A and B are shown apart, each in its own frame.
Chain A
Amino acid sequence: MSTSLAIGLDERVSQLEDTARMVRINIIDMIHTAQSGHPGGALSAADFMTALYFDILDIRPEEPRWVDRDRLILSKGHACPVWYACLAMKGFFPMKELKTLRKFESILQGHPDMNKTPGVDMTTGSLGQGLSAAVGMALEGKMTGRDFSVFAVVGDGELNEGQIWEAAASAAMYELDNLVLIVDANRLQMDGHTCDVMNMEPIDAKFEAFNWEVHSLDGHDMRQVLTALEQAKRQKDGKPVCIIARTVKGKGVSFMEDVRVWHGKAPNDREYERAMKELKGE
């Protein structure tokens, strides 16, 4: 597992919190430069994505397709700035690439592209498809007896898609205990709050009914996030694990928090300055 085992939990948590702040800074920087993109759902996912990339995942930045690596699929592909920030900071590609987000011929497309971006394990962007692909990868891992884990991240609005539930049934049926699903439960989708558009609560009871092991937690409490991910990766009792990360859309930038329009809007110069001040704690 990670090199950080040598240090205590407190220190790991505090280091990851610092890293998550840098991830958020890079997200805002990238989207501001591109003047296009989806900040809200990238910021809500920043803490668990940081924990995954900087502690949990067994990966080799210098060998992105290493066969025994842990896999990650960001099924809510529009949130890819968080993925690109983690991958760049981890060394999968130079940091300067972040400035090319959404520009023509960039390795960083508007939605994740496994053929263009080192470290991206699956192409996504059409919501609802990533969990099925994760099931396929986990099945292959079982078939070949390799012990990598597959992590998939979906949005709470994305749970509306029927394919999610088709995948959920198959993951349990095939006893994929090498599969961990993280639901970024930030309570917002495009058209408003999830409870007003298409309510999927209780999410935990639904996954339990589909025979998954379910953990709900505060998705911005790094200690909870880290502990749950670590446990989920270790757990091998024939059940896929679903972590419901209760999060805030736009987390970390006060004027973006829980505000619908920041789903898919870039900050202007003034908003950018303000966001940066807050994130840097100035």
Chain B
Amino acid sequence: MAKDMRDVYAQTLVDLAENDDRICVLEADLMNATGTKVFKQRFPERMFDVGVAEANMVGVASGLSAEGKIPFAASFGTFASRRTFDQFFLSANYAQLNVKLVGTDPGITAQFNGGTHMPFEDIGMMRLVPNLVIIEPSDLVSCEALIRAAAAHQGSMYIRMHRKGSNTIYDENEQFELGKGKVLVDGTDVTLIAAGFVMVPEALKAAEILKKEGISAAVIDMHTIKPLDNELVLAYAKKTGAIVTCENHQVTGGLGGAVAELLTAEYPALLGRIGAQDMFGQVGTQDYLIKAYEMTAEDIAQKAMATISKK
């Protein structure tokens, strides 16, 4: 059976914990969804399922961190962000502690659970927390590498994690650095900057579509949304003159917002943004929702062409 991204998350934490007794795992009654039961079985004394109490979970994680532990605390992205924001802001971040908060089921991947469970705003909220590092892995290889990087990083982080399903973009030995985006495809006419499990593959497909139209599109996996890889974005803004951001999130506040802010301040360039356009979530299959929110490879290719046409 193919591994889900959550299995990589859980297994990586088990591996890390074998050699580091500071690693702890917290859950808020979603252990069976996040897949961290394996951690509980291996390290029952370092696993705390606090029940349906997300704010308490983040507060407890902050206390563990104050005592030197490295807690990874998870819930669905909606609840990890919205229900714990003040606790995460103040007890974890303002206090300069080291809490890794994990929000699962990003954007449309919440599917049938619908609007109450569909996080389109978590990155936007988190970007407002000073110094917070925000990552969103796009495949299983980068997931493992970035979780390891998160454990090694001193400081709180928000990890936006796909839960079910697997894909492969990178070779097993690919190296990742927090804050350094990955150029997956080089190009000269337009740059597609994408993040996450759903949108990086869509951007890669969009580049193929554009190629058939004679358009050379670069594709960047921006696995770290904060701090943004300014150098890389500016280099490609200069090189291609047009950028399209692709995110499974509102186009404001998240990746598209971050790129827009940077370009406006440093090097105004043409920008198109793919993602939810100031809309709430709703029930549907992922296939239906990706069309409903105009986030497919075809939508990206069209947005790229429209953006280039303004040159």
Contact = CB atoms under 8 A, between A and B. Distances in A.
B27 A191 contact: yes
Interface string B266-291: 00000000000000001111001100
Contacts of A111: 113-117
Main secondary structure of the interface of B (DSSP, over half): helix
A37 B117 CA distance: 13
B4 interface: no
A173 interface: no
Interface string A92-130: 000000000011111001110100000000011111100
A191 B283 contact: no
B31 A191 contact: yes
B49 interface: yes
B120 to A, nearest CB: 15
B114 A198 contact: no
B56 A189 contact: no
B55 A160 contact: no
Interface in B226-263: none
Contacts of B32: 190-191, 260
Contact of A127 (B27, B31, B52, B284): B52
Given A102-B112, A190-B32, A191-B27, A110 B117 contact: yes
Contacts of B208: none
Interface string A67-106: 0000000000100000000000000000000000011111
Contact of A110 (B51, B79, B112, B292): B112
B116 A162 contact: no
A63 interface: no
A224 interface: no
A124 B56 CA distance: 20
Contacts of B56: 160, 162
Contacts of B53: 160-162, 198
Given A110-B116, A113-B114, A158-B52, 5 more contacts: A36-B111, A109-B114, A126-B79, A197-B29, A197-B51
Interface of B: 27, 29-33, 49-53, 55-56, 78-79, 82-83, 111-117, 282-285, 288-289, 292
Interface of A: 34, 36-37, 77, 102-106, 109-111, 113, 123-128, 157-158, 160-162, 189-191, 197-198, 260
